[in-house]
Amino acid sequence: MRVLVVDDELVSRKKMEIIMRTFGECVAVDSGKAAIAAYADAIVKGKSFDLITLDVSMPEMDGTEVLYEIRKIEKRRNIPRGSWPKVIMVTAQSDKETVTLCIQVGCDSYITKPFDRAIVAKKLVELGLNTQKPVRKSIR
């Protein structure tokens, strides 16, 4: 599983990155613009992400704006909806308005801060994502 972690807050980003590395390959960025660039680059290289964890509250470009732009890229490139990465919004705000907006923009789920590995693993299972890190075979 390839994961893109997006969070402007260093501690939350590193925590999510450490958790996600137990499930697969992980790329972590600190802004919405960096997230869009990393996503577009992954598509061009044929190494798209299976999952994006996206902080809702970020300066310059918040998580909902980032997700909106990512979905525009997918539509522009005619990527079939079934091939889109799952998106988990990560937020300290669990009010109905924030959650509703995230769902309207196209997220698949959300996690409220603070989070831990068990909470993240449960969300991955709910989304039907493989939580087993692939075993690398050695060639003799």
Q: What is the pLDDT of residue 98?
A: 81
Distance CA 68, CA 95 (A): 20
67 contacts 90 by C-beta, under 8 angstroms: no
Q: What is the pLDDT of residue 67?
A: 94
Q: What is the pLDDT of residue 96?
A: 82
123 in the Ramachandran plot: left (φ > 0), alpha (ψ -120 to 50) or beta? alpha
pLDDT band for 138, please (50, 70, 90 cuts): very low
Question: Residue 83 contacts by C-beta under 8 Å, 6 or more apart in sequence?
Answer: 48
- Model pTM score: 0.89
Distance CA 127, CA 108 (A): 8
Q: Hey, what CATH class is 2-126 in? A: alpha beta
Helix-then-strand count for the chain, H and E:
5, 5
Starting at the edge strand found earlier in the chain, the sheet holding 109-112 runs 25-29, 2-6, 51-55, 86-91, 109-112
| Domain chopping of the chain, boundaries | 2-126
Question: Residue 112 contacts by C-beta under 8 Å, 6 or more apart in sequence?
Answer: 90, 91, 92, 93, 94
Q: Is the pLDDT of residue 93 over 90?
A: no
